[in-house]
């Protein structure tokens, strides 16, 4: 009888104790020994590497400043509307790419971040497709609707 009881107690003994270990353990990042030294494996914190990075950031800063001047310069050329818009947006895109690639270090980022951004690009494209579609299909969608219908000039209040 006694034997059975002991056996019973033993078999009911908490199996979690064997599997789980101390409660703080599963939480510890030390379980992943590959990441012991670098706080982020994507970055090298040696003075040489960081110094090189800093020089690169300053060069990008210089290029961004020049491109800003170029953008303003283009606007003084008084190009035809669509040329001005295309050129202006092209320069802005180059500037934005420099910021994203170097300041936001997208040149060397993890796959998951790229995946998130790829999805964002798709949804952003849908947002931009909206007005485009409206502009060229409004007459079909709403017969009689004229997107170029005369409105008072904005300066005199076109918002109503």
Partner 1 sequence: MDAHAAHAGHADGGHHEIEIPYTVHARPDTGVYNGKLGIWLFLASEVMLFGALFSTLVLLRTSAPNWPRGADLLNVPLATLNTFVLIASSVTVILAWAHLRLGNLGKGKLYLALTLLCGLGFMVIKTIEYTTKFAAHHYPSSDNFYATYFVLTGLHGLHVLGGMIVFAYLLLTADKWYAQKRDQFTNRVEVTGLYWHFVDLVWIFLFPILYLL
Q: State the minimum distance, in angstroms, from the CB of residue 123 to partner 1.
A: 6
Distance from C-alpha of 110 to C-alpha of 88, rounded to nearest angstrom: 31
For residue 133, give both structure tokens.
């579609």
Distance from C-alpha of 147 to C-alpha of 134, rounded to nearest angstrom: 9
Q: How far is CA 142 from CA 100, 137, 139, 148, in A?
A: 41, 9, 5, 14
Residue 122 interacts with partner 1 (CB under 8 A): yes or no: no
Largest separation between any pair of C-alpha atoms in the chain:
102
Q: State the minimum distance, in angstroms, from the CB of residue 132 to partner 1.
A: 8
Binding mask 138-157 for partner 1 (x = CB under 8 A): ---------xxxxx-xxxxx
Distance from C-alpha of 48 to C-alpha of 54, rounded to nearest angstrom: 10
Residues in region 5-44 near partner 1 by CB under 8 A: 23-24, 26-27, 29, 32, 34-35, 39-43
| Strand, helix or coil for residue 48 | helix
Residue 66 interacts with partner 1 (CB under 8 A): yes or no: no
CB nearer to partner 1: pick between 8 and 124 = 124
Residue 130 interacts with partner 1 (CB under 8 A): yes or no: yes
Residues in region 91-110 near partner 1 by CB under 8 A: 91-92, 95-96, 99-100, 103-104, 110
Q: Which of 8, 45, 137, 139 binds partner 1 (CB under 8 A)?
A: 45
């Amino acid at each position: 009888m006694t034997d059975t009881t002991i056996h019973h107690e033993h078999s009911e003994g908490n199996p979690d104790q064997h599997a789980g270990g101390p409660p703080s353990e599963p939480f510890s990042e030390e379980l992943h020994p590959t990441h012991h030294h670098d706080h982020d494996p994507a970055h090298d914190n040696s003075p040489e590497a960081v110094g090189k990075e800093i020089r690169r950031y300053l060069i990008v800063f210089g290029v961004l400043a020049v491109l800003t001047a170029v953008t303003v310069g283009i606007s003084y050329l008084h190009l035809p509307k669509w040329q001005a818009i295309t050129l202006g947006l092209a320069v802005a895109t180059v500037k934005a790419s420099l910021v994203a690639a170097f300041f936001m270090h997208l040149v060397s980022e993890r796959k998951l971040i790229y995946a998130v951004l790829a999805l964002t690009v798709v949804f952003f494209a849908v947002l931009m497709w909206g007005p485009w579609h409206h502009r060229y299909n409004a007459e079909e969608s709403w017969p009689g609707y004229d997107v170029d219908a005369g409105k008072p000039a904005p300066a005199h209040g076109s918002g109503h």
